[in-house]
Amino acid sequence: MTMIPYDTVDPEVLGNLLEEIVTRDGTDYGVVEISTKDKVSAALSGLKNGSTLLIYDEESDSCSLCLTELYLKK
């Protein structure tokens, strides 16, 4: 797994990537429905404040978000 600095990704590509990540199967946020736009905004905020990282997994050829503290423990 490789960490990708989010600020090196074209903003439009990053937005599309985050939208794909937050709408994947298994990303249900609970009883209250949250819009995709709000989910993407929250994901971007996490990247900007450093609480989450954008991770590329070579084996699955996909990107995901990971809590910074969990990634750094590896």
- 56 versus 35: the higher-pLDDT residue is 56
Q: Which two tokens stand for residue 44?
A: 């971007």
For the stretch 40-51, pLDDT in tens is 999 999 999 999
pLDDT computed for residue 33 by the predictor = 79
**Nearest-CA neighbor of 20 among 65, 69, 70?**
65
Domain parsing of the chain, residue ranges: 2-72
Bridge partners of 54? 4, 65
CA torsion 73→17→44→21, rounded to 10°?
A: -60
The model carries a pTM of: 0.83
**CATH architecture of residue range(s) 2-72:** Orthogonal Bundle (1.10)
